[in-house]
Structures are given as C-alpha cells and as structure tokens.
Amino acid sequence: MAKVKVITDPEVIKLMLEDTRRKILSLLRNKEMTISQLSEILGKTPQTIYHHIEKLKEAGLVEVKRTEMKGNLVEKYYGRTADAFYINLYLGDEELRYFARSRLKTKLEIFHALGYKFDDDELLNIMDELLKKEHEYKTEISREIEECEEDLKEFSNEDIIHAIEWLSMARMGRDEEVMGLLKKLGEILKK
C-alpha cells in the first residue's frame, strides 16, 4: 500500500467529500473491514455500504485486501490504497473552489465571535490566497513523497504527514507573496 496518494481529479475529490464515503475511508485507515462490519458500525444497510465501496473502488481509493471463507460465503476485506490521501481543493473546478471558500467563512464567524473587527471580503480573499499557496506546496511535496515511497517505508504515516506540513511551511517562508499575505493577515487579525 502506498504511503501518500495525491488526488487531483475533481470528481474523485467530490466523491471523497461525501459523508458516508469519508467515514468508510476513515474506518479503513487502521484495519481491513468487510461490508457487514462497516454496515454495522455506520448504521447503514449492507447494500448502501456496497454502493459506496464500489464507488471508492472505481476511484482507486479502496481495494479488496483479502478474502475469507465463512461457511459457503466469501467475505471480502476492504482496505485503502494509501495510508494518507492528499486532496487539493484548489486544483478542482468551481464547485470545489466554492466549497473551500465556504469552509473559510466559518473561520470568519469564529473570529467575529472572539471580538475581532475586519472587512470580511478582504480577510476572506487573503485567507483564500494563503490556502491556495499552501495547497500548491503540499501537492508538490506529496508528489515528491510518492516518488520516494520506498525510502520512507519505515516512517509512520503521522510522521510523513507532519513532514509535509513542515516542508510546506518552509517553502511558504521562502515565498515573498506568501510572506506579504501573512503580514496583511497579521495586521487585520489584531485586537
């Protein structure tokens, strides 16, 4: 199984963002499971889980890892095709861009609730540009990790994900445009 898989296809990203599929991918992060096991945990019918598993298989996110005979039945155990999936909402279509921006709007509401005063559109645009840059760097780094998979097999998924975070911060720190945006962010978000 791959350590990191970069997902750039907007249709696959949308498929992954659906609630039940996200939960299935989360459950399969740590162990292989059958449709009946997933069905029981998620409180959904086996037919519903099967439908979602098939969509995830078609997208290359899930695969049959092993089979076991249970009486006359063959039980298929499903697992993820990668330990970590990295999606870049900024490589997608307008629907994904809208989704990314709407998630940022929630942060603005939190800032307002904490007593910060600012122009919503100005801050939203700065945050949106910063996230776009961050996603660009994380995508580059994730691709580098995909290419060096064999050299990284002894490291945990968590360590690799943290390495991606640190490397992207390092690249952002060398990017003059990002530094200018961070300065503006700092000026706007002060009491």
On whether the CB atoms of residues 131 and 104 are closer than 8 A, the answer is: yes
Domain boundary, last residue among 25, 59, 84 = 84
> Domain of 175: which CATH number?
1.10.20.10
Predicted local confidence at residue 21, as pLDDT: 96
pLDDT for residue 91 is more than 80: no
Question: Are 80 and 145 in a shared domain?
Answer: no
pLDDT for residue 139 is more than 70: yes
pLDDT for residue 92 is more than 70: no
Which has the closest alpha carbon to 185: 126, 97, 107, 118?
126
Question: Are 107 and 183 in a shared domain?
Answer: yes
Instruction: Classify the C-alpha dihedral 118-119-121-123 as positive or negative.
Output: negative
Domain with 41, as residue range(s), is 2-84
Q: Which two tokens stand for residue 191?
A: 């009491």
pLDDT band at 41 (very low <50, low <70, confident <90, very high): very high
Domain boundary, last residue among 24, 53, 84 = 84
Report the C-alpha gap between 64 and 11 in whole angstroms. Answer: 22
Contacts of range 34-39, beta carbons closer than 8 Å, 24 or more positions apart: 34/75, 34/76, 34/77, 34/78, 35/76, 35/78, 36/75, 38/78
Domain boundary, last residue among 64, 84, 104 = 84
Report the C-alpha gap between 121 and 127 in whole angstroms. Answer: 10
pTM: 0.71
Question: Are 109 and 124 in a shared domain?
Answer: yes
pLDDT for residue 94 is more than 90: no
Question: Are 18 and 54 in a shared domain?
Answer: yes
Question: Are 105 and 179 in a shared domain?
Answer: yes
> Domain of 24: which CATH number?
1.10.10.10
pLDDT band at 114 (very low <50, low <70, confident <90, very high): very high
Query: What percentage of residues in the chain have a pLDDT greater than 70?
Result: 98
Report the C-alpha gap between 84 and 6 in whole angstroms. Answer: 9
Q: What is the mean pLDDT of the chain?
A: 91
Question: Are 58 and 114 in a shared domain?
Answer: no
Amino acid found at 110: I
Per residue in 9-33, pLDDT (tens digit) is: 888 988 998 999 999 999 998 899 9
Predicted local confidence at residue 99, as pLDDT: 81
Total domain count for the chain? 2
Predicted local confidence at residue 2, as pLDDT: 78
Question: Are 116 and 132 in a shared domain?
Answer: yes
